[in-house]
């Protein structure tokens, strides 16, 4: 028995693979293109684990995907593969269209052909689980109810539009061909192994380097923060018992404004960072916070109603924001070599272009 995970060297995918292999003997075929955010160092603990089969490749490579499906006969495909950074989608939407829409289409075609050829119990138990985002729903006003699975799609960035299109393709392949699909739409993830362009690892990395901590606009954009390992447990639960054809929202029940997240991180770093590192920030890391020009089409608020996942499948997040973010800071403090190795010259050039005052 095995599962095929796409995008399994990225932030969420790598955490899922690591958690899966701590709880299952079932092997993982891990297909990842290893673009800038895919990092095999996140999986170094699995180097000698025969249950982890890594293959470098693109979900749009039909011949490769067909070969992997035929050779390994997975009982499920979990699709994490995506371009996922809003800022990058604004500056270069083409890659997002190619990976998130065209790539998902090719993957679905390969999986459909594989599933059509299965028989009996193998066909009955097979699942295709597509991992998506709450950003497909658009933006909420301050007092609006949280996104439920029945909210209409109103994406506001090339990234969220490309993910919305992929969600529709997955639904269509179930309705048209009967492919047994499941979709999850998650809120903002944070935790170990996140590439330091997203808010939380960026704040931690810049603070420890004595660099400015850039906050878009007034910093009052609200997100529901979900610890990545809680997200992984939700995916496992949906894969195990989710109803075929259904969508499940996954949230952390932790709505926080970006500025408040930055304040929390600074306060934890004031407490935990080494004395030599703290000197870089003078009296407090909060003194490094700066406000930069807001990004185009910046959604004001996201919030997830995960009551369907809770009532149908009994899932709840285990981490509060306070507990999860402290674990996250401690992980980054203890894994500075990992951070140093992913922050290449090209990455620094990207930050200089993106976060200009």
Please state the φ and ψ torsions of residue 141, each to the nearest 5 degrees. -75, 170
Instruction: Say which of 135, 197, 224, 305 is annotated catalytic.
Output: 135
Detail the DSSP E strand segments found in 217-344: 222-227, 247-250, 255-257, 289-292
Residue 352: active-site member: no
C-alpha–C-alpha distance, residues 144 and 164, integer Å: 21
Residue 134 appears among annotated catalytic residues: yes
Q: Pick the catalytic residue: 83, 134, 167, 299?
A: 134
DSSP letter string, 137-182: G----TTSPPB-TTSPP---SHHHHHHHHHHHHHHHHHHHH---EE
CA 200 to chain centre: 13
Q: How far apart are CA 194 and CA 158, in angstroms?
A: 21
Q: Is 355 labeled as catalytic in the residue annotation? A: no
Cα(100)–Cα(94) distance, integer angstroms: 10
Cα three-residue angle 351-203-200, rounded to 5 degrees: 105
Which residue in the list 114, 137, 159, 248 is annotated as catalytic? 159
Distance CA 349, CA 318 (A): 37
Please tell me the distance from the alpha carbon of residue 261 to that of residue 200, in angstroms, as a whole number.
8
Residues annotated catalytic, as ranges = 134-135, 159
């Amino acid at each position: 028995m095995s599962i095929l995970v796409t995008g399994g060297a990225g932030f969420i995918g790598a955490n899922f693979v690591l958690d899966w292999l701590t709880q299952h003997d079932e092997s993982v075929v891990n297909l990842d293109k290893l673009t800038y955010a895919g990092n095999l160092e996140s999986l170094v603990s699995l180097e000698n684990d025969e249950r982890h089969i890594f293959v470098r490749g693109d979900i749009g490579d039909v011949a490769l995907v067909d070969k992997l499906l035929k050779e390994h006969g997975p009982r499920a495909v979990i699709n994490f593969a995506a371009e996922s950074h809003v800022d990058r989608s604004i500056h270069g939407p083409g890659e997002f269209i190619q990976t998130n829409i065209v790539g998902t289409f090719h993957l679905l075609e390969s999986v459909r052909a594989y599933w059509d050829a299965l028989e009996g119990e193998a066909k009955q138990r097979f699942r295709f689980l597509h991992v998506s985002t709450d950003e497909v729903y658009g933006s909420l006003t301050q007092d609006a109810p949280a996104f439920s699975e029945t909210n209409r799609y109103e994406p506001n960035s090339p990234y969220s539009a490309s993910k919305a299109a992929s969600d529709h393709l997955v639904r269509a392949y179930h309705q048209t061909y009967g492919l047994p699909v499941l979709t999850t739409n998650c809120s903002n993830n944070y935790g170990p192994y996140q590439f330091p362009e997203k808010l939380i690892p960026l704040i931690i990395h810049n603070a420890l380097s004595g660099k400015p901590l850039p906050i878009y606009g007034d910093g009052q954009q609200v997100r529901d923060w979900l610890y990545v390992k809680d997200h992984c447990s939700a995916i496992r639960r949906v894969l195990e018992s989710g109803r075929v054809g259904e969508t499940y929202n996954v949230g952390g029940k932790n709505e926080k404004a970006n500025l408040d997240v930055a304040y929390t991180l600074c306060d934890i770093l004031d407490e935990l960072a080494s004395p030599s590192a703290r000197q870089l920030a003078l009296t407090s890391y909060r003194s490094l916070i700066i406000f930069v020009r807001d990004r185009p089409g910046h959604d004001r608020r996201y919030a997830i109603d995960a009551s369907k996942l809770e009532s149908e499948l009994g899932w709840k997040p285990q981490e509060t924001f306070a507990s999860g973010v402290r674990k996250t800071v401690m992980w980054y403090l203890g894994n500075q070599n990992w951070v140093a190795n992913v922050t290449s010259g090209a990455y620094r050039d990207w930050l200089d272009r993106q976060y200009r005052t």
